[in-house]
Amino acid sequence: MTQSCAIHVAVGVIKNSTNDVLVSLRPVAAHQGGLWEFPGGKLEAGEDVKTALCRELYEELGIKVLKCFPLKKIKHHYADKSVLLDVWQVTEFQGIPTGREGQPVEWRSIFSLRAVDFPEANAAIIRTLSLPSRIAITPAAENLTDLIKITDRLLNQDLPIIQFRQKGLDTPTYKQWFELTQAKCAKAGKKLMANQDVDDDLLIEPHDCHATSKLLMNLQSRPVGSQQLFSASCHNLEELRKAEALEADFVFLSPVNSTKSYTVEQTLGWQSFKDLAAKVSMPVYALGGVGSGEVDMALAHGGHGIAGISAFYP
């Protein structure tokens, strides 16, 4: 499926003050009728996505979009048509959403959303919305005892996703430590993502995985299937574009602030972070000198949340 032959649709993810999202019910006679959807509609000839989104949300819901940014692009092929969903997150709007075309609308908790209640193409939106606002990266462990201590401390912070980063280990040792940590995380209902070269035999079995920026630029395709999470480290627009082309589920963009490894002159700063995050359609996490209490700062600058080592294990 190419973008040119797909029906281009602007989709709005609208959140309220309690972080619920707005969904509406499709008419029974419509394509994928009787299912819930995120509001939006087709682009008109010569119309850009943002203009189409603002127009559709006003026509459908009677709201005026004040602030929004791209969240994700989704290509999906149905038996009778192909669609390109251009999904944007609406962070500020004016008015009270109402079904102006007679369609029922509801505010739903993100974690109550079920893919089976939505058109198939919407499953990727739900998956993206389910990503947490905080992702921890493991600090270097001196030994297995130290690793267990680190894992327990992170699990006690209710972090849904932990990235397993242990540089300098040979592949057999990394695999052994990873599997031990993964078992603890699975028991606690948390995901553990491998940060190891995808070419290693660690990933003969499918695992959620994270690519370094160097590895990212050498990849020719997404290294794992759609059932596993794939993320990457990025530092500039070129790397962000590559991650987007590989359909990464999310990325880390760094360094936002100064750290032991980066001086102030080498950092992006929040404004550059915002400018870069707005240029790609995928969740972007702020990394580098970002504290655990700066989630709201990241969200205010178009990020999905924060990631870090010292933020969660100082």
Q: Which domains does the chain have, with CATH numbers?
A: 3-125 (3.90.79.10), 134-308 (3.20.20.70)
- At residue 284, the pLDDT reads 95
Query: CB count, 10 Å around CB of 263?
Result: 10
What backbone torsions phi and psi does residue 186 show, to the nearest 5 degrees? -60, -40
How far, in Å, are 23, 120, 211, 256 from residue 110 at the CA level?
10, 17, 27, 28
Rounded (10°) CA dihedral 144, 146, 147, 153: 150
CA-based max dimension of the chain: 62
Closest CA to 288 of 267, 313, 265: 267
Query: What mean pLDDT comes out for the span 200-224?
Result: 80
DSSP state string for 219-268: -SS-SS-TTS-EEEEESSHHHHHHHHHTT-SEEEE--SS--SS--GGG--
The tens digit of pLDDT for each residue in 133-179 reads 999 999 999 999 999 999 999 999 989 999 999 988 888 899 899 99
Query: CB count, 10 Å around CB of 27?
Result: 11
| 244 appears as a binding residue in the annotation | no
pLDDT of 37 above 90: yes
Q: Which alpha helices (H) appear in the chain, and where do they start and end?
A: 49-61, 123-129, 144-155, 171-187, 213-218, 237-245, 269-277, 295-300
214: left (phi over 0), alpha (psi -120 to 50) or beta: alpha
How far, in Å, are 151, 154, 290 from residue 309 at the CA level?
12, 10, 9
Question: pLDDT confidence of 259, banded at 50, 70, 90?
Answer: confident
Q: Is 161:191 a contact under the CB 8 Å cutoff?
A: yes
Question: pTM for this structure?
Answer: 0.81
Going across the sheet that includes 105-108, the strands are: 36-37, 21-25, 105-108
| 222 appears as a binding residue in the annotation | no
Angle at 86 between CA 85 and CA 90, to 5 degrees: 125
Q: Is 40:10 a contact under the CB 8 Å cutoff?
A: yes
The tens digit of pLDDT for each residue in 172-196 reads 899 899 999 999 999 999 999 999 7
pLDDT of 237 above 90: yes
- The mean pLDDT value of the chain amounts to 89
pLDDT of 213 above 90: yes
| 31 appears as a binding residue in the annotation | yes
The tens digit of pLDDT for each residue in 90-123 reads 989 999 999 999 999 999 999 899 989 998 888 8
How far, in Å, are 36, 85, 129 from residue 123 at the CA level?
11, 12, 10
| 40 appears as a binding residue in the annotation | yes
What backbone torsions phi and psi does residue 265 show, to the nearest 5 degrees? -65, -25
Q: How far apart are CA 268 and CA 228, in angstroms?
A: 30
Cis before 39? omega within 30: no
| 172 appears as a binding residue in the annotation | no
| 60 appears as a binding residue in the annotation | yes
Question: pLDDT confidence of 204, banded at 50, 70, 90?
Answer: very low
